[in-house]
Amino acid sequence: MVSGDPRINSRFIYGKLNEKVNVYVKVYWNSPFLACMDESLSRAEIIDPLFLWIGPDGRNLKGQSYVNVTETGKLKLITFRKSMSGSYGCTLTYKRMKDNLQEEKEAFKSYKFMLFAYRDPDYTFQVSARFSTQACNIVENDQYLEELKKIMEDLIFSLTCELTDEFLKCHVIKVPKHGLQSVLFISFKVNPFAPGWETVCRNLTGDCGDETNSRALKARDRIEEFFLKQTYAHKEFSFVPPIRYLDKSLQILREDKCRPGFGKDEFNHAECPDCCVVCGHGTYNSNNNVRCRVCSSIEINYYGATAC
């Protein structure tokens, strides 16, 4: 993936003759430098080079406040936003000379770059676990779910995360060599958008996506640690609690969501398959769907549409 990740920001992204180069830039980050030449030409001497960069709106980019164009024709876009997505073209004009230096000829080469804004997906976690119980029709089962929910909420409250979609179901299972056993199946989701998360974001500069995902990951780690402690606690007691966690039954699966105006598209953006890439022309995402949808009622001729 070619992106604006600072770990590769020192690299130059070279153009390719007769081929567009896709570049993915994280929103609110700077793009890598785009070189107005191909790799083979970069290894040769170039006489009297002139560089012309044109943006998606057809305007000359030189002198624009949101760009940095070097004297050697390299372009960097500053604090990239979804509206800056689109086709960027550059033309390199230079001279070719004969060996006798008496004749010179002007040469032209053109390069195209397609720049796409992207975000990391927002993380939510689906948590599920099993618990042994005395029977499926006792009120203690629902009480246990409420108690467990309260413990989980206390664990993640400081992270501005919350529980949603709590679910409990009880089944009688035949366990090999242990006969019949009543088992509770409990699941819930953890997301980092509890009341107050907007305040956390306002205290940050730029996009708060990284901070949001960091809080979700910390919440996941705290929940894993809690269930690990339950495993050891049960081993230390000589009696079996009426409802207890079944060792190694915990599953935590990450579910990705994309912000409005962005979506995943592994086919059209194979270089960035896990990215939430800005919705292209003719598509939109109005909420937190994973994918952009095609709009057939009106013509969308810009990037990042949030409505049809």
Which residue has better confidence, 243 or 99?
A: 243
**Whether 86 contacts 114, CB under 8 Å:** yes
Mean pLDDT of 22-51: 92
Residue 153 in this model has a pLDDT that exceeds 60: yes
**Whether 113 contacts 20, CB under 8 Å:** yes
Non-local (6+) Cβ contacts of 29 within 8 A are 4, 5, 6, 79, 80
Q: How far apart are CA 117 and CA 279, in angstroms?
A: 9
* Helix (H/G/I), strand (E/B), else coil: 302: coil
CA 153 to chain centre: 26
DSSP lists the bridge partners of residue 255 as 124
Confidence (pTM): 0.80
**Whether 261 contacts 302, CB under 8 Å:** no
Q: Could you tell me the pLDDT band of residue 9, with boundaries at 50, 70 and 90?
A: very low
* Helix (H/G/I), strand (E/B), else coil: 96: strand
Mean pLDDT of 186-195: 92
Q: How far from each other are the two terminal CA atoms of the chain, in whole angstroms?
A: 30
Please give the share of the chain, as a percent, with pLDDT higher than 70: 90
Tens of pLDDT, residue by residue over 63-81, are 899 999 999 999 999 999 9
Pairing assessment for the beta strands 20-26 and 104-119 based on DSSP bridges? parallel
Which residue has better confidence, 198 or 117?
A: 117
* Helix (H/G/I), strand (E/B), else coil: 30: coil
CA–CA distances in Å: residue 85 to residues 15, 25, 140, 305: 17, 9, 56, 12
Note the pLDDT of residue 76: 95
Residue 216 in this model has a pLDDT that exceeds 90: yes
Residue 2 in this model has a pLDDT that exceeds 70: no
Indicate if the alpha-carbon torsion angle 178, 179, 182, 188 is positive or negative. positive
Tens of pLDDT, residue by residue over 158-182, are 999 999 999 999 999 887 877 888 9
Q: What angle do CA 20, 23, 28 make, to 5 degrees?
A: 145
Domains of the chain listed by start with CATH number: 12-119 (2.60.40.10), 122-255 (3.30.70), 258-307 (no CATH)
